[in-house]
Amino acid sequence: LEIKPDKLNFKSIFLIFFVLTSTVFSEKKYYKHEDSIKRVLSNYFEDVDAKNPVRMLKTLTPEFFLHYGEGPVTRITSESEFIQLFEAWKNSEKGKFFSTEIETINIQETHIIRNYAAVADVVFSRKDKNGNKIRTERALYHLIKGEGYYGSPLKFIWGILTKWSRPWKIYMISNIQLD
């Protein structure tokens, strides 16, 4: 069994090329809006911890959706509706915490409209005044650049054309089970 030198070189070069390309293409690519989205989520959690629904509304689209557990999706279409829902949540058992610590954030572009829609898979812990962990939760935060896709045709077109200059906003929060 003799291997000819020219076949050995070809096999070696092919193997090195395969390993290098696998390494390069298997790395997680950095999403260019990741820092902006993390900042929006950080501000949102600060406002949740402060129990300030008016400031929270600045990070949400005017039409906003919540989906917790196995219940139906809740559509919120006005500030007063959101504040009423928030007050009920704040006074419930879920609203009894002092601070939130984000444990992990995994942000993915959703490719619906390139660079203008993303989802953040966030694992976070709610803590009491002493810093003790009360519970850990996981939620998907669906974000969009701008105010969303609704309104008159002219407003819709204007929103698409000016999307690049608009801030990221949360349009839906979905509570999911921890793995």
Cα distance between residue 112 and residue 44, in whole Å: 24
Q: Is there a contact between 47 and 86 (Cβ–Cβ < 8 Å)?
A: no
Helices (H), 50-108: 53-56, 79-90
Q: What is the pLDDT of residues 26-80, one digit of tens each?
A: 455 667 889 999 999 999 999 999 999 999 999 999 889 999 878 899 999 999 9
68 closest CA partner among 42, 101, 94 = 94
- Per the prediction, the chain carries an average pLDDT of 83
Q: For 4-9, what is the mean pLDDT?
A: 57
Radius of gyration of the chain from Cα atoms? Answer: 23
pTM of the model: 0.76
